């Protein structure tokens, strides 16, 4: 028995087949275009996401017998919002991506009107362009003709998961789960449902939003006419970071993981308790079981980590691939005094400054591309340390940090991370834990696995990185980073 998992990320779609022992039997990947119509704006074409999904699944099925598949699970970039025609499934405009900063002034307006405390109380979030609600408010104010079709019921609103479900089922289902819904600014964490109060505040018609379904169980069924001749139950669903928490088998209160993706996200399972933080962390729904029980998590969201490496590759062309960063960075013993703050789309936790911008300080005539690449890896580790310190002191309460995502394959990054937080970093044998979580959820929903205890047995360690750097040296490097962060803040109007 095996499960197909679709991980619809920010820069591409990964499809994997996961066997009963947790191993990945087949994998496909397809990138899609990033659109930047103005500085600070980031958009995706829904159709390009769909075509990338189909191609990634085609790649998987070239080397795997589709008849062995029991179910499909979906995980996705979360706060990105899409509109589509309920009949034709075509989209009237490009999706507004979670990294998009266009609503910074709108957030300021809402904050000055006194709404932030109530929004935070209900949602566990803050007024930041990161989240979906202000994106929808912007659409209503700036594209009234499009928005009129949302209000009339012709256009549906959703995140990437609900869009893919609509495409995979020929428009039969309009559904999402709590882990995606809770990132929209329209979801009441305590009630576990869409909030009429928040929908009214942001001007979003509740009827346009998806139905809320459990994270595993009978959700929908794919239509073979739309989905590559496959008729499979869609039985698992989760936003990417909650999916990675599930894929890392962080089922107990206090379990933590860090995913290095386009951004980096540190989540800690808080059980049935909604976490509260005055220090820049978010409260989020982790998952809802078929019996209705909600599990929550505390989250530190860092906007740009892997995307900084992508920028080195595509923007500056300093490297030909992400894999080149480790050997190049190892050619120098340190950064030569260079510090890079990758606030390319503002700063997330714990600073929350949408007006911050990328900053490189300490450049001299002796600076080489190797120094800048090493500074980028250090920046990722510093950003994660900042979040962990906000959680309760760097490494405090942690016996180890479980890591995953593409950049976790970089041994130098993992070592720098262990040195900075002062506790071991554990990398599992399968670092595609976001996709793995979607497969686990779908497999639970379809009976491939009987319980979370079965899933725990699939987790195996690849490598453990012990701290090696002297704490005084680690702290001095971090102090230099903190100075640079302050210089990056408030740069853009």
Strands 233-239, 461-465: pairing is unpaired
pLDDT for position 149: 97
User: Is residue 384 within 8 Å of residue 481, measured between CB atoms?
Assistant: no
Measure the N-to-C terminal CA separation of the chain; round to a whole number of Å: 54
User: Is residue 160 within 8 Å of residue 179, measured between CB atoms?
Assistant: no
Give residues with Cβ within 8 angstroms of 131, minimum separation 6: 79, 125, 183, 184, 185
DSSP reduced 3-state for 299: strand
Cis peptide before 234 (omega within 30 of 0): no
Partners of 6 in beta bridges: 15, 74
pTM, 2 dp: 0.85
pLDDT for position 262: 81
User: Is residue 467 within 8 Å of residue 95, measured between CB atoms?
Assistant: no
pLDDT along the chain (493 residues), means of 10: 94 94 93 93 96 97 91 96 97 95 94 95 92 97 97 97 97 96 97 97 96 95 96 96 93 88 88 83 94 93 88 94 95 97 90 91 97 97 91 63 90 97 92 92 95 91 95 96 96 83
């Amino acid at each position: 028995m095996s499960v197909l998992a679709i991980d619809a990320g920010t820069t591409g779609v990964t499809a994997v087949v996961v066997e009963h022992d947790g191993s990945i039997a087949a994998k496909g990947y397809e990138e899609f275009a990033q659109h930047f119509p103005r500085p600070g704006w980031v958009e995706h074409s829904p159709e390009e996401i769909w075509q990338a999904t189909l191609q990634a699944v085609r790649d998987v099925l070239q080397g795997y017998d589709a008849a062995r598949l029991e179910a499909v699970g979906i995980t996705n970039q979360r706060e990105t919002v899409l509109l589509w025609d309920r009949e034709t499934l075509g989209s009237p405009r490009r999706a507004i991506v979670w990294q998009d900063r266009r609503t910074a002034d709108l957030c300021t307006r809402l904050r000055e009107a006194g709404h932030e405390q109530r929004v935070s109380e209900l949602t566990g979030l803050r007024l930041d362009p990161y989240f979906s609600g202000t994106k929808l408010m912007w659409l209503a104010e700036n594209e009234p003709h499009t928005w009129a079709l949302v209000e009339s019921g012709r256009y549906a609103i959703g995140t990437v998961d609900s869009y893919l479900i609509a495409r995979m089922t020929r428009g039969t289902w309009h559904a999402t789960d709590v882990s995606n819904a809770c990132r929209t600014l329209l979801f009441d964490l305590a009630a576990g449902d869409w909030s009429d109060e928040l929908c009214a505040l942001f001007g979003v018609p509740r009827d346009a939003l998806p139905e809320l379904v459990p994270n595993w169980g009978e959700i929908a069924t794919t239509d073979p006419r739309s989905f590559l001749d496959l008729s499979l139950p869609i039985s698992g669903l989760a936003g990417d970071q909650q999916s990675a928490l599930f894929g890392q088998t962080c089922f107990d209160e206090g379990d933590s993981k860090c995913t290095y993706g386009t951004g980096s996200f540190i989540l800690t399972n808080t059980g049935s308790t909604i976490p509260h933080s005055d220090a820049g962390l978010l409260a989020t729904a982790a998952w809802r079981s078929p019996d209705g029980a909600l599990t929550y998590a505390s989250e530190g969201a860092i906007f740009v980590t892997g995307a900084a490496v992508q920028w080195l590759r595509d923007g500056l062309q300093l490297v030909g691939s992400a894999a080149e960063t480790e050997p190049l960075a190892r050619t120098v013993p340190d950064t030569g005094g260079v510090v890079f703050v990758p606030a390319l789309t503002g700063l997330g936790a714990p600073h929350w400054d949408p007006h911050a911008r990328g900053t490189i300080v300490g450049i001299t005539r002796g600076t080489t591309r190797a120094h800048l690449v090493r500074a980028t890896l250090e920046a990722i580790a510093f950003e994660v340390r900042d979040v962990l310190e906000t959680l309760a002191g760097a490494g405090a309460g942690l016996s180890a940090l479980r890591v995953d995502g593409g950049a976790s394959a970089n041994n130098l990054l993992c070592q720098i991370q262990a040195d900075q937080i002062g506790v071991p970093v554990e990398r599992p044998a399968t670092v595609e834990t976001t996709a793995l979580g979607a497969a686990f959820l779908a497999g639970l929903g379809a009976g491939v696995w009987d319980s979370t205890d079965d899933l725990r047995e699939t987790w195996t360690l690849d490598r453990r990185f012990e701290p090696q750097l002297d704490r005084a040296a680690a702290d001095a490097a971090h102090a230099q980073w903190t100075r640079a962060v302050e210089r990056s803040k408030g740069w853009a109007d």
